[in-house]
Copies of this chain bind each other. A is one copy, B any other.
Amino acid sequence: MLTEFARYVDDRRDEYVALLQALLRQPSISADGTGIGETSEMVRQLLTDVGADAQVLAIEGGHPVVHATLRAAAPAAKTLGFYNHYDVQPAEPLDLWASAPFAAEIRDGRIWARGSADNKGNLMARICAVSAYRHVYGDLPLALKFIVEGEEEVGSPHLEEFAATHRDLVAADACIWEGGYKDATGRLIVYCGVKGMLYVQLSAGGAREDLHSMWAAIVPSPAWELIWALGTLKDARDRILIPGFYDRVRDLTADDRAALRSIPFEASERAAELGIAQFVLGLQGVDLLERYIFQPTCNVCGLAGGYQGPGIKTVLPNRASVKIDFRLVPDQDPREVLESLRQHLAAHGHGHIRLELLAAEMPARTDLRDPLVETVIRTVRQAYGRDPIVYPMVPGTGPMYVLCQRFGIPSTAGPGVSHPGSLIHAPNENIYVDDYIQAITGIALLIHNYAQATR
């Protein structure tokens, strides 16, 4: 099947690239709502164009979900779900982009745009795969469902309720998760879980207004209070100090350890690529990888207060704030961590610091012995000519728990479009055009293989 199909896809390369560029040129920033309405409608149209029964489902107080179904030839066929998101991260800082973030310029064999890797490239590859499959073979061997949300980059705040109230729309035998990527040597990575997240903002307030800094001798400083409070959260050995924080972190199984050992990860090469002298605590090898994949974090995403312009301004700012994301691992629960954090701050005398919940997601994992994992591995071997690297979990986050795990639906990544230099969430996000085209064939083959696989 493969050679003929891959040739068909390659012949339509320009058309598929143009479709992706058009989608990338439509901004869709969930953090501030830019372009959300336009993009959801564009995605609905793209799915309709490949024969799906597609609709834009409004979400009260949130961004709509695009849902689409494609029927199988045989009524008893299995159903495979695709989870994607049409929203993207903000593009700031804009001055660090070599070409405009929504220009989708092609340069050096890559498409450069916010959302190219995360997640529009993957979404478009799947839509093109369906189109190509139907053109080459006519009927689909199984039913497909697309769930394309618009709030992934702000922590999917409404997806839990959406899935609970639309169980029929999300029901499936398995779900292919949003992405997938190649490692530095070009091997495709298949992951079987995601970290959870607690995203909070802490804000300290002081005097009614910013004051001349001569007042600093006697007027309490919110900036200092925030610094002192943060100092109680994590020590310089990178150990998170909130009581009970690590209590629910699962011990690694023998399967986990075997998977870890099979993951190639050249610490010194990756450090050089990232431009750092070494990783935290000087870790290397399996210890480093274990920390990367299986350990929770407490990261400062943003820090703000007072005068940040050029030169000097002598001011005692009356407000300081910090945005923090905790990446969580099974079986940590973001709402439990939030409560522990609240108690911890109060216990250290920082109870009046305002603590806002901005996002909460549960971690999720699919068992490494699930049949879906085997099917994906086999598909990658056929489509890419090499075995994938299997990650028991990735350090990124997504709503895999609310969409899949709590309904018993296994989920893994599939053939995806990213590479280690994709710079997701950062300036100059990009994917290789070749990876995008190759993923179209890979996804089509996965549809074929999963239809045959043991249920």
Tell me the A residues contacting B by CB distance below 8 Å.
30-32, 89-90, 92-93, 96, 153-155, 195, 197, 199, 206-221, 223-224, 226-228, 230-231, 234, 236, 238, 274-276, 278-280, 283, 288, 291-293, 295-318, 320, 323, 325, 327, 349, 358-359, 394-397, 423-428
Contact = CB atoms under 8 A, between A and B. Distances in A.
A183 B301 CA distance: 43
Contact of A32 (B154, B280, B311): B311
Contact of A426 (B30, B89, B212, B303): B212
Contact of A279 (B219, B274, B310): B219
Nearest to A201: B312
Contacts of A214: 195, 327, 394-397
Given A155-B312, A358-B312, A301 B213 contact: yes
B312 A308 contact: no
Contacts of A305: 300, 302-304
Contacts of A210: 93, 425-427
B396 A299 contact: no
A285 to B, nearest CB: 12
Q: How many copies does the complex hold?
A: 2
A221 B213 CA distance: 29
A208 B272 CA distance: 9
Nearest to A307: B302
Contacts of A310: 31-32
A365 to B, nearest CB: 16
B32 A309 contact: yes
Given A217-B295, A301-B314, A303-B304, 14 more contacts: A30-B311, A31-B312, A31-B313, A32-B309, A32-B310, A197-B314, A199-B314, A211-B426, A215-B395, A219-B274, A220-B276, A224-B238, A231-B231, A302-B305
Given A206-B276, A427-B209, A306 B303 contact: yes
Contacts of A211: 274, 425-426
B216 A299 contact: yes
A218 B154 CA distance: 23
Contacts of A221: 299-300
Contacts of A30: 311
A213 B275 CA distance: 16
Contacts of A298: 216
B195 A274 contact: no
A312 B209 contact: no
9 contacts: A92-B307, A153-B312, A208-B275, A223-B300, A227-B227, A300-B305, A300-B306, A301-B317, A314-B397
A207 B307 contact: no
A335 B349 CA distance: 35
